[in-house]
Homo-oligomer: A and B are copies of this chain.
């Protein structure tokens, strides 16, 4: 494992590390913000970790340069880990289009060729990456997860699939019903195949119906989001949560679009929400 960026930021360090992922079979980068509390004094207390999952086309860089999260992570003493959005490298399958292949891993384990050999972002984010973080940094096993768009889908699905694994979950402008919108249908057809039954295990609207853990879901959705009607449709998850009696908060934010300007405006509230759960 090699540190490739090391930047002082709000009294802590915004670092980027590169490592060989056994789960993905390729070299991966991840961002990690270590707040000032991570290096205070000699006896370092282990800190909780908040995982951020980015959206289509992103690498680990988008969140760490644009979200303005470091200020709040420093205030709350929380580590934030931001992985890349897909496996990378010349050996990894790709395809035309920003919404499939590299930069578009959808946080699932692919079953179909040519994707199945590397596209295992679920296992990477849920298992390999936390094991690495908790072994190499002053990180406790208190974990929460959030994300944006495809990464909002990822956060919801990973939390719903892995009860007990996360203390809290939230999302900005998530894809909540991938089985029923163009982005999801394209990705799931490729990664999971034509049998839509298999898609249900990766769809928050389906998973919430049978969730064994009632982890409250917090979602912020911009009212001027250019993808709202066609790709996001948060009312589908609202209906599924209502039907299941699952605690769910959907905050519609008028005027905000799909960009990091939206994320930056509310990231402080999300981090405070997670910090409260992580410290409880």
Contact = CB atoms under 8 A, between A and B. Distances in A.
B10 A65 contact: no
Nearest to A68: B68
A7 B68 contact: no
A1 interface: no
B8 A65 contact: no
Main secondary structure of the interface of A (DSSP, over half): mixed
State the copy count for this chain: 2
Interface string A65-87: 11010110000000000000000
Contacts of A222: 8
A10 B265 contact: yes
A256 B8 contact: yes
A100 B145 CA distance: 45
Interface in A256-273: 256-257, 259-262, 264-265, 268
Contacts of A257: 7-8
Given A8-B222, A8-B255, A256-B8, A261 B14 contact: yes
Contacts of A10: 264-265
A8 B265 contact: yes
A262 B265 CA distance: 20
Contacts of A65: 65-66, 260
Contacts of A9: 261-262, 264-265
5 contacts: A7-B261, A8-B262, A11-B265, A65-B260, A70-B261
